């Protein structure tokens, strides 16, 4: 499986999440290599770490407002910090589940972790450049970041 196929697994996971859970299509923008080694994270970030045949991190990062509207679409009335963490955690959980299914046992995939705040830092693998995939939904902008070496 090449890098493009690997990235597509994650992109489809996120787009499928929007299709099924909030039942509104999200769009994938043009992927790009991060100019800096550390792409900015947004308010809430759900992350999985990968080891084995490839090493690195994959995360979905989104602004609070976007996650609140997603919860509203799910008929949820509680926009608490815990529920926002839950939501990005579930998206990361989907990334993890699909990666396990499609990549098989050559990849070890961690349980998802959640970080909060735009100043959060991510441990990227050495000698790698993250691929950033913009995810557009309604008027909101999230990012899927795939960094594997």
Partner 1 sequence: MNKAAVHRLMVVDDSNVIRRRIERAQDLPGIEFVGAARNGREALELHQKLQPTIVTMDLTMPEMDGSDCVAQLVERDPLIRILVISALADKLTAIDAIEKGACGFLCKPFTDRQLNDALYKLIEE
Provide the binding-site residues for partner 1, judged by CB under 8 A: 16-17, 20-21, 23, 71, 74-76, 78, 82-83, 86-87, 89-90, 93-94, 96-98, 100-101, 111
Backbone dihedral angles phi then psi of residue 106, each to the nearest 5 degrees: -75, -15
Q: Least distance from C-beta 54 to partner 1, angstroms? A: 18
Closer of 63 and 97 to partner 1 (Cβ): 97
Q: Which residue has the tokens 């990062």?
A: 61
CB of 20 to partner 1, least distance (A): 4
Distance from chain centroid for Cα 124: 14
Q: Smallest gap, in angstroms, from Cβ of residue 55 to partner 1?
A: 21
Nearer to partner 1, 53 or 101 (CB): 101
Rounded CA-CA distance 92/85 in Å is 11
**Do 68 and 78 touch, CB atoms closer than 8 A?**
no
Whose Cβ is closer to partner 1: residue 13's or residue 61's? 13
Instruction: Give which of 27, 51, 46 is closest to 108, Cα–Cα.
Output: 51
């Amino acid at each position: 499986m090449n890098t493009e196929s690997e990235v597509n697994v994650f992109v489809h996971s996120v787009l499928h999440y929007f299709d099924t859970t909030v039942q509104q299509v999200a769009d994938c923008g043009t992927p790009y290599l991060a100019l800096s080694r550390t792409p900015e994270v947004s308010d809430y970030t759900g992350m999985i770490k990968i080891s084995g045949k490839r090493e690195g991190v994959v995360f979905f990062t989104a602004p609070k407002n976007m996650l609140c509207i997603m919860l509203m679409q799910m008929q949820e009335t509680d926009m608490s910090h815990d529920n926002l963490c839950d939501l990005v955690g579930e998206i990361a959980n989907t990334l993890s589940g699909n990666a396990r299914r499609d990549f098989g046992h050559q990849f070890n995939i961690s349980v998802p972790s959640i970080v909060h705040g735009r100043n959060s830092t991510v441990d990227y693998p050495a000698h790698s450049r993250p691929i950033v995939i913009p995810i557009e939904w309604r008027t909101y902008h999230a990012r899927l970041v795939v960094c594997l070496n």
